[in-house]
Structure 1
């Protein structure tokens, strides 16, 4: 069923074709992937007015979102009950296919507490219609090789539980997973000690370019088909900080063609900080650059 925004867009397209007398008009083939945005990029605007903010990013061309900051006890996203938040998404023709959930808060808790939060996260994800639940972060005190080995057991437990609930589970990297610890890295431990059936990978391509000693393709070769979600953002040519897409040094024309090989199902544009003017302006500029220069590489 089309909502009002979708109806207007589709009706306008049809009327334009009719008015031009295009009897053989054939609608443009829908893109294989929907352009997503990790909402942490615009966290200030989401905190101030999530409804207006979501309407604005939809107008910029975003179709998919990745959430963060879920409150498992109250079942709320951005201060709204999960179903109310889903309604706001639907009113703007937006989806949410993944969420960053706060598992790190339970790293040192009992298995029972960790799985209780996992169940709360599953309920929230189901209410939004998300396909994936994502573990997004490790606190500094949990980044030793010994802690990574403990982490993999937790990831397997969560992943199995999430899969039984009909959802997928993934781990999101930063830079610290690629730091060498006397010949071992946290990322290799995750790859080797987690069950690929239960634990997928959400690759942050900025941090790979920033820290990984090889190429992105070489990383994909370690686990082809397992990198189901991508974070796409650019790196400033001088400071190596975040920047708007197209302003930095990462050549996505060399990376995006690997989407099928890597197993990509969803992608999200993101910029954690270092905004040229304002986060909303940055996500607008990144969307425009991606649509004009990169989206065709994923068709």
Structure 2
């Protein structure tokens, strides 16, 4: 059975800072069954109670691990929230050559060894800079080739599209590695404020979702100039409709 639809809490970061409980209550009422926290160590104390009160789960969470301090604090925060997969949200450098990609993969593999005894899985979330052509394959594909089988990917469909990839084909190719997908839409351009509710932009989200039937769906806005809650509600309604029609 597929995990409930989640929302990356970075999308509602301003509201979250003001009132975590009210924010999560609204998300639950809008049709979300889960959330994806960011900055796990910072937010675990504020989210632990609201998660219990709303019944929302947090299967995945973002936390900077590579090049950071001892990951023990991240693992402890994940345990407090029930997070089972800790995802490295961004690595900016090292994607221009295979040696750099290998170093990133080695770092993620070492983290997986440390996380395993805690019952945790390690993942990586892409942006648009992981798609340099390295000998006929993208850097992200090169990363996937070098990762331990226990390490997963969280595909950000929108940023992959911005990079110029055929995101549905990429999703199908890496389906065994991609366990989570950021369902994000827009005109396929770098400006994050141009993002629109899922299903109303140019990203081939239906193709991606069809290629990843078991992957966790996580809605996200990096930025949104209007009412982000209304945009999330429209996105989750669209997603529920698509999922029903595909059954």
Gaps of 5+ in 1: 1-30, 107-112
Gaps of 5+ in 2: none
Tell me: CA distance 1:242–1:105, structure 2 relative to 1, closer, same or farther (3 Å): farther
Tell me: CA distance 1:173–1:296, structure 2 relative to 1, closer, same or farther (3 Å): same
Query: Which of the residues 163, 170, 173 maps onto 1:222?
Result: 173
Q: What's the CA shift for 1:296?
A: 1.2
Instruction: Determine if contact 1:256/1:298 at 8 Å carries over to the other structure.
Output: no
CA RMSD of aligned residues (A): 2.4
Instruction: Determine if contact 1:209/1:250 at 8 Å carries over to the other structure.
Output: yes
TM-score of the superposition, structure 2-length normalised? 0.88
State how far apart, in whole Å, the 1-side matches of 2:153 and 2:36 are. Answer: 15
Tell me: CA distance 1:70–1:224, structure 2 relative to 1, closer, same or farther (3 Å): closer
Residue correspondences, number? 244
Larger radius of gyration: 1
TM-score of the superposition, structure 1-length normalised? 0.73
**Within the alignment, does 1:206 sit opposite 2:125 as a pair?**
no
Question: Per-residue CA shift, 1:138-182, capped at 9, x if unaligned?
Answer: 23x444324322111100000122123212111111111112256
Query: Which of the residues 222, 229, 246 maps onto 1:272?
Result: 222
Q: What's the CA shift for 1:221?
A: 4.2
State how far apart, in whole Å, the 2-side matches of 1:237 and 1:227 are. Answer: 21
Structure 2 match to 1:288: 237
State how far apart, in whole Å, the 2-side matches of 1:253 and 1:182 are. Answer: 30
After TM superposition, the structure 1 = structure 2 runs for residues 1-299 of structure 1, keeping only pairs within 5 Å, are: 32-71=2-41, 76-77=42-43, 81=45, 85-104=47-66, 106=68, 113=69, 116-117=70-71, 119-139=72-92, 141-145=93-97, 146-181=99-134, 183=136, 185-196=138-149, 198-216=150-168, 218-236=169-187, 241-260=194-213, 263-264=214-215, 266-275=216-225, 277-291=226-240, 293-297=241-245, 299=247
- Matched residue of 2:123: which SS? strand
Instruction: Determine if contact 2:5/2:34 at 8 Å carries over to the other structure.
Output: yes
State how far apart, in whole Å, the 2-side matches of 1:189 and 1:239 are. Answer: 23
State how far apart, in whole Å, the 2-side matches of 1:158 and 1:180 are. Answer: 26
- Matched residue of 2:154: which SS? strand
Structure 2 match to 1:7: none
Q: What's the CA shift for 1:236?
A: 2.3
Tell me: CA distance 1:90–1:133, structure 2 relative to 1, closer, same or farther (3 Å): same
